[in-house]
Structure 1
Amino acid sequence: MLSSSHWGIFRPIVRDGRLVAAEPFAADPDPSQLLQSIPSAIHHKSRVLRPAVRKSWLESGPGAHPERRGSDRYVEVDWDQALDLVAGELKRVVTGFGNQAIYGGSYGWASAGRFHHAKSQVRRFLNVLGGFTDSVDTYSNAAGTVIARRILGTIQAIDGPGTSWSSIAANAGLVVMFGGMPLRNTQITVGGLGEHTSRDGLEKAKAAGVAFVNVCPIRDDAAAFLDAEWLAPRPGSDTAIMLGLIHTLISEGLHDREFLASHATGFERFADYVMGVTDGVPKTAQWASGLSELPAEAICALARRMAATRTFLVVNWSLQRSEHGEQPFWAAIALAAALGQLGLPGGGLGFGYGSLEGLGGQRRAAPRPTFPTLRNPVEAFIPVARIADMLLSPGAPFQYDGRDLAYPDIRLVYWCGGNPFHHHQDLNRLIAAWRRPEAVIVHETWWTATARHADVVLPASSPLERDDIGASSLDRFMVAMRKAIEPLGEARSDFAIFGGLAERLGLGAAFHEGRGEGEWLRLMYQGARERAAQADMQWPDFDAFWDQGFVEIPAAEKPYVLFEAFRKDPALHRLGTPSGHIEIVSEAIAGFAYEDCLGHPTWMAPREWLGSPLAARFPLHLLTTQPATRLHGQMDMGTVSQASKVAGREPMRINPADAAARGVGDGDIVRVFNDRGAILAGAVLTDSIRPGVIQIATGAWYDPETPGEIGSLDKHGNPNVLTPDRGTSKLAQGPSAQNTLVEVARFEGAVPRVSAFDPPIDS
């Protein structure tokens, strides 16, 4: 028997009905340590075991005491009462305000299973109900996705597949990593994975003689075995560095004029900006040095080195999670085009190789099972990171990717899978926004902060407590996720919960179409199997697949090279842009007349970085990275994550010089603060962080000293208490978490107990 997770396939070991171990899949060459947390997480005291209703909401009805969300206790009720309450709320809102008043933008990784994929389940249910206000894009790469669609006509460079590691190892001389390539992030892939190959790909490239340069404030965001040259810039200066590199290429005649003429559009106008013709400011290496604090000589030398050898540029997704986050991705595309190596084996660029597993794999394209979500009749939507703006400012206008839109008036939030109190910025602002709806309905497996801020909490079963199919577009294995244990308490699958609601609303047949969970799995698998047969892949029938436990998709016969066909024949293989070429200048974006996103890559200083006046008050730049010990906030209660804590708090990595200036020692509890809030963290001193920068991983469960109070000290170390909630630009409206200035002080006095994992249930 096998199961799957976003961090790997595993074999669940069960004794007396309890999960005791998760053994790595035998075919995985580099299994993730996160598997070790699964048993402790599944049986943790923080599980939601029965339907629960916020006490004052149950007593006084919809909209009662929204200021108590986060502080109220919960009363457990039976399933019939809970479903009746939720069905009644849905009827009330739809009848009184229309379907647009429901926000169903559930966002998060949830289960690796394709049927019990929470976002798909809630979308199908709400679409059957008549629709809902949805969200678009992702917190991971919103700005990058929008700009890539405009400039490259595809998001493949963002989401993969990208140029294979085998092609890089065989052909590249140099890999330049903007934002590093941290292996901690390559533990995970959406939909699960059977083999982790990034470490092997990097090791083979290094063994083949490929050199690596790490342009990042964090040295160990490049694996030690790469022996990468470390250039440690100010955070947020990557666009300036790339412009300085392009200036050097142009001024020394090292750019590929022929490629730019045949495969790109607008380079001449962009070059006028780079050379200072249009604004009087040449973007020289010396200019870039003043912004980045990298030596000008190092920038010039890197440009010459890139032009002299086959070079692959890697740009971490984290760079675009900042104000003007579209710019570093656009500038990287312009830099790669200037080098003229896009579409060549081992050359060009890729985004996110250190952000996700599988982008550089050699997997043959294959279908995967999908659960149909049906059409949403409601046209209203928001960019995913603008939820607080929507709740706080109903009716307010906003711009997104050339469209003039307005925020809908949301009366009910339905959240199923995911945890906005993990991934959203400026949590104190989110708390204020979260008080606006009259009802918040949440399906949850654990008592996360999102569950603690809901009115009705419905216990969702874990992936090990139901049957499913695990599959990822970036992995070679599809897995029969067979039920391993019975659901804890009274937990039910999302499909069963929505089925119960649909029956109460007279929509049962439309939702489930007369099929149970097992029948849906057969249908989804068979659909994928038929599509695979059209691509000459023979998969076993469902029963054989279920017995065998997995299907292995063969590796591609040759390495993949991104944009190879486009390079060979740009007329036959046009890009999906208006010109069919790489749009270094975009007439469409220029036509939007956005002051915060012009028609070509542009340096625009963020409001909050070490080069801004605010640094006089808050002189440390906080980088909020993904954790090595969990997936976002998932399994923070698990053994691996708990072992990483410092006195129960999230670690804060700081340069020894910065720590000494503040009287902070290794292992001290510190207060990290700015005008948005304050958190406690545990100091870890390291010279792998450049001075002026601290690093705190996201995902520590939000745990305010005074629950429900705006501005309360977070005891546990959730850095999104501190991050700004502002859009990257009017183009993409993505999150800007990486523009965060703070100060740090040693915490004095009695340290409050972490209570994030204590269920808020009245006995």
Structure 2
Amino acid sequence: MHAQAEQQHKLVPVSSHWGNYLAEVAQDELVAIHPYASDPDPTPIAQSLLNAKDGNVRIPQPMIRHGYLQKRHDSDGARRGIEPFVPVSWDTALDMAANALDRVRQEFGNEAIYGGSYGWASAGRFHHANGQLHRFLNTAGGYTRSINSYSTSAAEVIMPHVLGMSFHELMFQAPTVEDMVKHTRLVVCFGGIAMKNTQIMAGGLGAHTAGEQLQDLKQAGVRFVNVSPVKDDMAHYLDAEWWPCRPNSDVAVMLGIAHTLVTDNLHDRQFLDSYCTGFDRFLPYLTGEEDGIAKDARWAAQLAGIPAERIEAIARQMAAERSLIGISWSLQRSEFGEQSYWMATLLSALLGYVGLPGGGVAYGYGSVHNIGFAGRRLPNYKTAALPQGRNAVDTFIPVARIADMLLHPGEPFDYNGQSLNYPDIRLIYWAGGNPFHHHQDLNRLRRAWAKPETIIVNEPFWTATARYADIVFPSTTPLERNDVSISPYDCHLTPMPCAVPRFGQSRDDYDIFTGLAQRLGVEPEFTDGKNEMEWLRHLYNATRDAANGLNVSLPEFDDFWAGRQISVHDQTPDSVFTLEKFRSDPQANPLDTPSGRVELYSEKIAGFNYDDCAGHPKWYDKQEWLGSERAADYPLHLISNQPKTRLHSQYDHGITSRNAKIKGRAPARMNPLDAAERNIRDGDIIRLFNDRGACLAGVILTENLRPGVVELETGAWYDPQDPTDPMSLEVHGNPNALTRDAGTSKLAQGPSAHSCLVQVEKFTGELPAIRVFSQPAIISHS
């Protein structure tokens, strides 16, 4: 009997953006999620996979919005999210979607199709939803695309101008912990090193070791300074010195440090002369010769709320011993967000530590696990991905400007030196993401989302993106299909065989797009004659060949597929970073900038003549922060950071996320002093509001936040109390009901969610029901 029971249970390897695990399956049901023994600190987020087949939130079969079923593209887009859905057959849904795509192609051209489809999607290499979508749309003639990311847009645009490297390359060449133990005495982190973010790694992660590595730094005597309005942005065991600055004041603090270095003659003149260009153009601004305002520590103190003496002292400490500047992604998601990354680079150049072991800047340090904690070993070979094909449409938008595009077709906008125009979008196709999570000012997005004639969504769950669609295709989750995890950002690889049967009538994205491609006459181009397993074998073998060419041995596909997670860490050589090569010989290894050097002043950016991004880093007064006039009406600065209990909005319905909610709402944190002024107690439901919207949340009182700041993590599934009300109260705790939808500057046009002011009050009304974790209204088609 015992042997029979054991045979009924099996362990299936799975991969997710929060780690690799073993799924325990019994009689086609998922019963447990187990970490690998090699993972010293697995995240509890994985336990939410147990809710992958929750029938309350899964989409059981193809659905079409009732009004769209009746009138197709002539239906009222403003009724999205209001009207009920009608279940239909796969053939009906596929025919309708194909006809809509073909109509737009023929009447308006492929530029009128928006396939941005931004989102993390799956950790699998083949069933990556937006990759599948982009391949399909390219075979069908192309689409308007998006560029950059909500996470790091400003940095992605500014850093190639300054250091001549792509930002992704730069991030994964962060100074290593091993080098820091040997060489670094002080780490000054702007935005901290939030341990909650190190739970995550795009494409899978074999071992969560960030905590152990930080403990190594502490034991080596490295000191930490946490420049952040949030104290626990730094692990408590590091005993960091906390500088509770005003949000968005980091550039002022950096300028104050820089001024002290220069006036005390502590800056590295030799490094500036030999490795940089433009310091002489920046210096008059720093000293005040240019505008009459010296950017000294006293000036910075007034803006940041940090004593001038501290700023001056840390400058001298940083100059006296090798130091590292850490800068989180969050800093550049604000007004003029480009400036924080440029100024951090300039500050490190003043110190002269760029390219030295354990010195310089760790860009995005700890924003995901392997930025700073992968050491020098990432795969040195190319990891294969599903080919996208060629997009015949040149039109694009910066990713965070989607509402602007939909509301203002044909209007001009600036981006990175280019003058462009927004296209007139008639059809949106989204797969593998949730714009009602990651976009700002959701009431504005709802108005914009009503504009296209057709919106098609592939989605396993009834997220707001699915609820605001016309045609909804139910897709599988990674547990319900075969895939492989072969990430370029981690040395672990794992097979991902199907663990459980598909839910309801759901299909893989590949099958959905194959059905559409067949109807549009491009099936051979889309499938290349391969089925799912043939594609997996092809992608793995291409990766294996690339690895073998660099003396990294991977097993044959059949052996890999029959096994579990493997690691190539011991076969992977230590890499030498680009800035290290540049430091050792700048003539032989110049940077890919116009000067071949670090561009502290950029003639190219100056030539754009932007009023919000000059030729060197500088402080700009902001429209929305605690130092602005707007603070008189909305006196609390909202920080909408990443959640502890999920990745963005993925598995918000899962057990780990829901267990952290307060009376069903997302938890918000505020300082007890701010709460007392408003008669708010720990555990109360609060209403956060401004002139853009309002939402409810459950409050946690803590002194780990600077007074004047409230924190509400992103990712709660959007749930408006009254979808017919354009300014409806959001009842679940989605902070993007409040955030501003404006670009960082004309240079990058990135999101500026962290420049947001609100007011808070105790909610005393009848608590609205949470409806987003239940099926929407569904009616039969007569």
Report the TM-score when normalising by structure 2. Answer: 0.96
What is the correspondence of 1:123-522 to structure 2 with a 5 Å cutoff?
123-154=134-165, 155-156=167-168, 158-360=170-372, 361-362=374-375, 363-364=377-378, 365-522=380-537
Spell out, residue by residue over 1:321-377, the C-alpha distance to the aligned partner (whole angstroms, 9 max, x if none).
001000010000000111100111111111112210111212243332311001101
Contact 2:437–2:718 under 8 Å retained in 1: yes
Which one of the candidate residues 751, 757, 766 is aligned to 1:735? Answer: 751
SS of the equivalent of 1:738 reads: coil
Distance 2:429 2:369 in 1: 30
Corresponding residue of 1:601: 617
Q: Give the secondary structure class of the aligned counterpart of 2:695.
A: strand
2: distance between equivalents of 1:299 and 1:477? 42
Partner of 1:531: 546
Pick from 667, 670, 676: which aligns with 2:686?
670
Q: Displacement of 1:549 after TM fit?
A: 2.6
Range that drifts further, 593-602 or 533-542: 533-542
Shifted more, 610-619 versus 18-27: the winner is 18-27
Contact 2:111 2:395 in 1 (8 A): yes
Equivalent of residue 83 in structure 2, options 38, 57, 72: 72
- Partners of 2:175 and 2:573 lie apart in 1 by 14
Which residue does 2:676 correspond to in 1? 660
Match of 1:61 in 2: 72
**Is this contact kept in 1: 2:199–2:368, CA < 8 A?**
yes
Deviation at 1:561, TM superposition (A): 5.3
Task: Give 1:45 deviation, angstroms.
Answer: 1.5
Pairs within 5 Å for 1:20-59? 20-59=31-70
**Secondary structure at 1:532's aligned position in 2?**
helix
Post-superposition shift, 1:42? 3.3
> Residues 171 and 362 of structure 2 are in contact (CA less than 8 Å); yes or no, is this contact kept in structure 1?
no
Number of the residue aligned with 1:649: 665
**Counterpart of 2:370 in 1: which secondary structure?**
coil
Is 1:687–2:703 an aligned residue pair? yes
Among 586, 592, 597, the residue aligned to 1:570: 586
Question: Which SS does the other structure have where 1:682 is aligned?
Answer: strand
Aligned counterparts of 2:592 and 2:505: Cα–Cα separation in 1:
50
- CA drift of 1:157 comes to 5.9
Deviations 1:108-145 (CA, angstroms, capped at 9, x unpaired) = 01100010011110000000000000000000000011
Question: CA shift at 1:161, angstroms?
Answer: 3.4
Q: CA offset at residue 156 of structure 1? A: 4.2
Q: Is the 8 A contact 2:694 2:729 kept in 1?
A: yes
The answer as to whether partners of 2:30 and 2:500 remain within 8 angstroms in 1 is: yes
For 2:390, the aligned partner's letter is: R
- Per the TM alignment, residue 558 of structure 1 is displaced from its structure 2 partner at its CA by 4.8
Measured against aligned partners, the alpha-carbon deviations of 1:220-260 in whole angstroms (never above 9, x if no partner) come to 11000000000011000101110111000000011101011
Q: Given the alignment of the two structures, is residue 118 of structure 1 paired with residue 133 of structure 2, yes or no?
A: no
Structure 1 range deviating more: 68-77 or 54-63? 54-63
Distance 1:499 1:526 in 2: 23
- Choose from 24, 34, 51 the match for 1:13: 24
Other structure's SS at 2:226 match: strand
Which runs of no fewer than 5 residues in structure 2 stay unpaired? Answer: 1-11
Matches of 1:200 and 1:188 in 2, distance apart?
16
Report % sequence identity: 51
- How well do the aligned residues superpose, as a CA RMSD in angstroms? 1.1
Residue 734 of structure 1 and its aligned partner are, at CA, apart by: 0.1
Contact 1:189 1:472 in 2 (8 A): no
Runs of 4+ in 1 over 4 A off after TM superposition: 555-562
SS at match of 1:625: coil
- In 1, the alpha carbon distance for the partners of 2:696 and 2:90 equals 38
Residues 601 and 615, structure 2, Cα contact 8 Å, conserved in 1? yes
- 8 A Cα contact 1:646 1:682, kept in partner: yes
Q: Does 1:625 align with 2:641?
A: yes
Distance in 1, matches of 2:367 and 2:297, equals 28
User: Offset at 1:552?
Assistant: 1.1
Contact 1:343/1:564 (8 A) holds in 2: yes
Checking the alignment, whether the CA contact within 8 Å between 2:52 and 2:477 is kept in structure 1 is no
Q: Please say if 1:706 is aligned against 2:722.
A: yes
- TM-score using structure 1 length: 0.99
Cα deviation code 1:535-575 (max 9, x no counterpart): 11111111111112333112555586561111001111111
C-alpha contact 2:13 2:20 (8 A) present in aligned 1: yes
Q: For the Cα contact (< 8 Å) 1:525–1:542, is it kept in 2? A: yes
Q: Which amino acid aligns with 1:400?
A: Y
- Residues in 1 aligned to 2:224 and 2:353: alpha-carbon distance in whole angstroms: 17
